[in-house]
A and B are shown apart, each in its own frame.
Chain A
Amino acid sequence: MAAVSQNFKTDLLASIPSLRAFAVSLTQNADKADDLVQETLVKAWDKHESFEPGTNLKAWLFTILRNEFYSQMRKRGREVQDSDGIMTARLAVHPAQHGQLDLKDFRSALEQLPEDQREAIILIGASGFSYEEAAEICGCAVGTIKSRVSRARTRLQEILKISGDDEFGPDAISAQVTGSNAA
Protein backbone atom coordinates (compact mmCIF):
# COMPACT_ATOMS: atom_id res chain seq x y z
CA MET A 1 0.00 0.00 0.00
CA ALA A 2 1.36 3.38 -0.95
CA ALA A 3 1.84 5.84 1.85
CA VAL A 4 -1.00 8.25 2.45
CA SER A 5 -0.05 11.69 1.27
CA GLN A 6 0.12 14.64 3.59
CA ASN A 7 -2.49 16.39 1.46
CA PHE A 8 -4.90 13.55 1.89
CA LYS A 9 -4.47 13.70 5.64
CA THR A 10 -4.96 17.47 5.67
CA ASP A 11 -8.09 17.14 3.55
CA LEU A 12 -9.45 14.44 5.83
CA LEU A 13 -8.94 16.68 8.84
CA ALA A 14 -10.71 19.53 7.09
CA SER A 15 -13.67 17.28 6.29
CA ILE A 16 -14.30 16.24 9.87
CA PRO A 17 -16.76 19.02 10.77
CA SER A 18 -18.94 18.15 7.77
CA LEU A 19 -18.67 14.44 8.44
CA ARG A 20 -19.75 14.95 12.03
CA ALA A 21 -22.71 17.08 10.99
CA PHE A 22 -23.84 14.45 8.51
CA ALA A 23 -23.29 11.67 11.06
CA VAL A 24 -25.40 13.45 13.68
CA SER A 25 -28.10 14.01 11.09
CA LEU A 26 -28.16 10.30 10.33
CA THR A 27 -27.82 8.86 13.81
CA GLN A 28 -29.51 11.63 15.80
CA ASN A 29 -27.03 10.85 18.55
CA ALA A 30 -23.74 12.67 19.19
CA ASP A 31 -21.80 9.69 20.57
CA LYS A 32 -22.88 7.31 17.85
CA ALA A 33 -22.09 10.01 15.33
CA ASP A 34 -18.51 10.38 16.51
CA ASP A 35 -18.00 6.62 16.46
CA LEU A 36 -19.32 6.61 12.95
CA VAL A 37 -16.93 9.39 11.93
CA GLN A 38 -14.05 7.46 13.47
CA GLU A 39 -14.97 4.33 11.48
CA THR A 40 -15.26 6.45 8.37
CA LEU A 41 -11.81 7.97 8.82
CA VAL A 42 -10.22 4.55 9.35
CA LYS A 43 -11.97 3.15 6.26
CA ALA A 44 -11.04 6.19 4.19
CA TRP A 45 -7.43 5.84 5.29
CA ASP A 46 -7.33 2.16 4.38
CA LYS A 47 -8.79 2.65 0.95
CA HIS A 48 -7.23 6.00 0.15
CA GLU A 49 -5.89 4.57 -3.09
CA SER A 50 -9.41 4.20 -4.44
CA PHE A 51 -9.96 7.95 -4.14
CA GLU A 52 -9.25 9.76 -7.37
CA PRO A 53 -7.50 13.04 -6.64
CA GLY A 54 -9.36 15.96 -8.10
CA THR A 55 -12.77 14.41 -7.55
CA ASN A 56 -15.06 15.38 -4.70
CA LEU A 57 -13.47 14.12 -1.49
CA LYS A 58 -16.41 15.20 0.62
CA ALA A 59 -18.83 13.15 -1.51
CA TRP A 60 -16.47 10.17 -1.35
CA LEU A 61 -16.28 10.41 2.44
CA PHE A 62 -20.03 10.90 2.84
CA THR A 63 -20.56 7.73 0.78
CA ILE A 64 -18.27 5.77 3.09
CA LEU A 65 -19.95 7.19 6.18
CA ARG A 66 -23.40 6.44 4.89
CA ASN A 67 -22.50 2.85 3.92
CA GLU A 68 -20.99 2.35 7.34
CA PHE A 69 -24.13 3.70 9.01
CA TYR A 70 -26.46 1.36 7.16
CA SER A 71 -24.24 -1.66 7.56
CA GLN A 72 -24.07 -1.04 11.32
CA MET A 73 -27.82 -0.74 11.48
CA ARG A 74 -28.21 -4.02 9.63
CA LYS A 75 -25.73 -5.71 11.94
CA ARG A 76 -27.71 -4.57 14.92
CA GLY A 77 -30.76 -6.09 13.33
CA ARG A 78 -32.45 -2.78 13.04
CA GLU A 79 -34.73 -2.63 10.11
CA VAL A 80 -33.82 0.19 7.80
CA GLN A 81 -36.75 2.54 7.56
CA ASP A 82 -38.42 2.68 4.26
CA SER A 83 -40.25 5.88 3.60
CA ASP A 84 -42.92 4.07 1.64
CA GLY A 85 -44.11 2.78 4.97
CA ILE A 86 -44.31 6.10 6.75
CA MET A 87 -45.38 5.92 10.34
CA THR A 88 -48.12 8.46 10.54
CA ALA A 89 -48.65 7.59 14.19
CA ARG A 90 -45.56 9.52 15.14
CA LEU A 91 -46.91 12.77 13.87
CA ALA A 92 -46.65 15.31 16.62
CA VAL A 93 -48.88 18.34 16.61
CA HIS A 94 -46.55 21.17 17.18
CA PRO A 95 -47.61 24.63 16.17
CA ALA A 96 -44.94 27.25 15.66
CA GLN A 97 -45.31 29.89 18.33
CA HIS A 98 -45.46 33.47 17.18
CA GLY A 99 -44.58 32.35 13.71
CA GLN A 100 -41.04 31.66 14.85
CA LEU A 101 -40.01 28.13 14.31
CA ASP A 102 -37.81 27.03 17.15
CA LEU A 103 -34.66 25.13 16.26
CA LYS A 104 -35.46 22.59 18.96
CA ASP A 105 -38.84 21.92 17.38
CA PHE A 106 -37.22 21.62 14.01
CA ARG A 107 -34.70 19.12 15.35
CA SER A 108 -37.39 16.90 16.81
CA ALA A 109 -39.40 17.10 13.60
CA LEU A 110 -36.34 16.08 11.61
CA GLU A 111 -35.86 13.16 13.96
CA GLN A 112 -39.28 11.84 13.03
CA LEU A 113 -38.44 11.47 9.37
CA PRO A 114 -37.51 8.07 8.01
CA GLU A 115 -33.71 7.84 7.51
CA ASP A 116 -33.84 7.88 3.73
CA GLN A 117 -35.87 11.08 3.67
CA ARG A 118 -33.79 12.74 6.35
CA GLU A 119 -30.51 12.05 4.63
CA ALA A 120 -31.88 13.24 1.30
CA ILE A 121 -33.11 16.56 2.63
CA ILE A 122 -29.87 17.10 4.57
CA LEU A 123 -27.67 16.37 1.58
CA ILE A 124 -29.65 18.64 -0.69
CA GLY A 125 -30.89 21.34 1.65
CA ALA A 126 -27.93 21.68 4.01
CA SER A 127 -24.73 19.96 2.86
CA GLY A 128 -24.74 21.74 -0.48
CA PHE A 129 -24.72 18.67 -2.72
CA SER A 130 -26.42 18.60 -6.08
CA TYR A 131 -29.17 16.07 -6.76
CA GLU A 132 -26.71 14.12 -8.91
CA GLU A 133 -24.09 14.02 -6.15
CA ALA A 134 -26.67 13.04 -3.54
CA ALA A 135 -27.91 10.23 -5.79
CA GLU A 136 -24.38 8.96 -6.13
CA ILE A 137 -23.78 9.12 -2.39
CA CYS A 138 -27.00 7.21 -1.70
CA GLY A 139 -26.57 4.81 -4.58
CA CYS A 140 -29.94 5.57 -6.10
CA ALA A 141 -31.53 7.42 -8.99
CA VAL A 142 -31.73 11.21 -9.10
CA GLY A 143 -35.51 10.92 -9.29
CA THR A 144 -35.53 8.93 -6.07
CA ILE A 145 -33.61 11.68 -4.27
CA LYS A 146 -36.01 14.29 -5.64
CA SER A 147 -39.03 12.40 -4.43
CA ARG A 148 -37.48 11.76 -1.00
CA VAL A 149 -36.62 15.44 -0.61
CA SER A 150 -40.11 16.42 -1.62
CA ARG A 151 -41.73 13.97 0.77
CA ALA A 152 -39.39 15.03 3.57
CA ARG A 153 -40.30 18.67 3.05
CA THR A 154 -44.02 17.97 3.00
CA ARG A 155 -43.69 15.84 6.10
CA LEU A 156 -41.73 18.51 7.98
CA GLN A 157 -44.33 21.07 7.04
CA GLU A 158 -47.05 18.81 8.36
CA ILE A 159 -45.25 18.10 11.61
CA LEU A 160 -44.35 21.74 12.14
CA LYS A 161 -47.66 23.00 10.89
CA ILE A 162 -46.17 25.47 8.50
CA SER A 163 -47.27 25.97 4.97
CA GLY A 164 -44.93 26.36 2.04
CA ASP A 165 -43.11 29.66 2.09
CA ASP A 166 -45.37 31.16 4.70
CA GLU A 167 -43.33 32.86 7.40
CA PHE A 168 -46.14 32.68 9.91
CA GLY A 169 -47.75 29.40 10.71
CA PRO A 170 -51.37 29.00 11.73
CA ASP A 171 -52.49 30.37 15.07
CA ALA A 172 -50.83 28.65 17.92
CA ILE A 173 -53.64 27.02 19.80
CA SER A 174 -51.09 25.45 22.09
CA ALA A 175 -51.50 21.84 21.30
CA GLN A 176 -49.60 19.60 23.62
CA VAL A 177 -46.44 18.18 22.21
CA THR A 178 -46.68 14.46 22.30
CA GLY A 179 -43.70 12.22 22.70
CA SER A 180 -41.11 14.56 21.31
CA ASN A 181 -38.02 14.74 23.42
CA ALA A 182 -35.71 17.13 21.73
CA ALA A 183 -32.20 16.51 22.94
Chain B
Amino acid sequence: MRKDNTAGAATNRRRAASGDPLGPNSEIGRKLKQYYDELVSDNVPDRFAQLLSQLEQAQPARKKD
Protein backbone atom coordinates (compact mmCIF):
# COMPACT_ATOMS: atom_id res chain seq x y z
CA MET B 1 0.00 0.00 0.00
CA ARG B 2 2.84 2.29 0.88
CA LYS B 3 4.39 1.49 -2.45
CA ASP B 4 1.19 2.38 -4.27
CA ASN B 5 1.05 5.76 -2.62
CA THR B 6 4.61 6.56 -3.54
CA ALA B 7 4.04 5.48 -7.12
CA GLY B 8 0.84 7.49 -7.14
CA ALA B 9 2.59 10.58 -5.87
CA ALA B 10 5.23 10.29 -8.58
CA THR B 11 2.51 9.91 -11.15
CA ASN B 12 0.80 12.97 -9.73
CA ARG B 13 3.92 15.06 -10.07
CA ARG B 14 4.45 13.90 -13.63
CA ARG B 15 0.84 14.65 -14.45
CA ALA B 16 0.90 18.03 -12.81
CA ALA B 17 3.96 18.94 -14.80
CA SER B 18 2.47 17.81 -18.09
CA GLY B 19 -0.92 19.42 -17.42
CA ASP B 20 -2.54 15.99 -17.31
CA PRO B 21 -6.33 16.29 -17.16
CA LEU B 22 -6.50 13.82 -14.26
CA GLY B 23 -3.68 15.37 -12.28
CA PRO B 24 -4.02 17.08 -8.90
CA ASN B 25 -5.02 20.33 -10.60
CA SER B 26 -8.22 18.81 -11.80
CA GLU B 27 -11.26 18.47 -9.59
CA ILE B 28 -12.11 15.11 -11.18
CA GLY B 29 -8.55 13.87 -10.66
CA ARG B 30 -8.58 14.85 -7.00
CA LYS B 31 -11.98 13.32 -6.30
CA LEU B 32 -11.02 10.15 -8.09
CA LYS B 33 -8.04 9.74 -5.77
CA GLN B 34 -10.06 10.61 -2.71
CA TYR B 35 -12.70 8.06 -3.69
CA TYR B 36 -10.12 5.36 -4.35
CA ASP B 37 -7.88 6.06 -1.36
CA GLU B 38 -10.87 5.74 0.90
CA LEU B 39 -11.56 2.30 -0.57
CA VAL B 40 -7.93 1.22 -0.30
CA SER B 41 -7.73 2.24 3.35
CA ASP B 42 -10.81 0.24 4.28
CA ASN B 43 -10.10 -2.48 6.86
CA VAL B 44 -9.53 -5.85 5.23
CA PRO B 45 -11.85 -8.53 6.63
CA ASP B 46 -10.14 -11.58 8.18
CA ARG B 47 -11.72 -13.89 5.63
CA PHE B 48 -8.98 -13.15 3.13
CA ALA B 49 -6.08 -14.05 5.39
CA GLN B 50 -7.99 -17.16 6.41
CA LEU B 51 -8.57 -18.04 2.78
CA LEU B 52 -4.88 -17.81 1.97
CA SER B 53 -4.01 -19.97 4.98
CA GLN B 54 -6.53 -22.56 3.81
CA LEU B 55 -5.09 -22.53 0.31
CA GLU B 56 -1.65 -22.94 1.77
CA GLN B 57 -2.69 -25.93 3.85
CA ALA B 58 -4.45 -27.53 0.91
CA GLN B 59 -1.25 -27.54 -1.11
CA PRO B 60 0.32 -30.84 -2.04
CA ALA B 61 2.41 -31.45 1.06
CA ARG B 62 5.79 -31.94 -0.49
CA LYS B 63 7.83 -31.29 2.58
CA LYS B 64 5.74 -33.09 5.13
CA ASP B 65 6.75 -36.66 4.34
Interface residues of A (CB under 8 A from B): 1, 3-4, 9, 12-14, 16-18, 20-21, 24-25, 34, 37-38, 41-42, 45, 58, 101, 103, 106-107, 110, 121-122, 124-128, 149-150, 153, 156-157, 160, 162, 164-167
Q: Which of B1, B27, B36 contacts A14 (CB 8 A)?
A: B1
By secondary structure, the B interface counts as helix
Enumerate 25 A-B pairs (CB-CB under 8 Å) in ascending A order: A4-B56, A9-B52, A13-B49, A13-B52, A17-B44, A18-B4, A20-B40, A20-B42, A20-B44, A21-B42, A24-B39, A41-B52, A101-B27, A101-B31, A103-B38, A106-B34, A110-B35, A121-B32, A125-B29, A125-B32, A126-B32, A126-B36, A126-B37, A160-B28, A165-B27
Q: Which residue of B lies closest to A100 (CB)?
A: B27
Q: Which residues of B contact A41 (CB under 8 A)?
A: 48, 51-52, 55
Q: Which of B40, B52, B59 contacts A12 (CB 8 A)?
A: B52
Chain B contact residue count (CB 8 A cutoff): 37
A-contacting residues, B36-65, CB 8 Å: 36-42, 44-45, 47-49, 51-52, 55-56, 59-60, 62-63
Q: Which of B1, B40, B47 contacts A38 (CB 8 A)?
A: B47
By secondary structure, the A interface counts as helix
Interface residues of B (CB under 8 A from A): 1, 4, 7-8, 11, 21-22, 25-29, 31-42, 44-45, 47-49, 51-52, 55-56, 59-60, 62-63
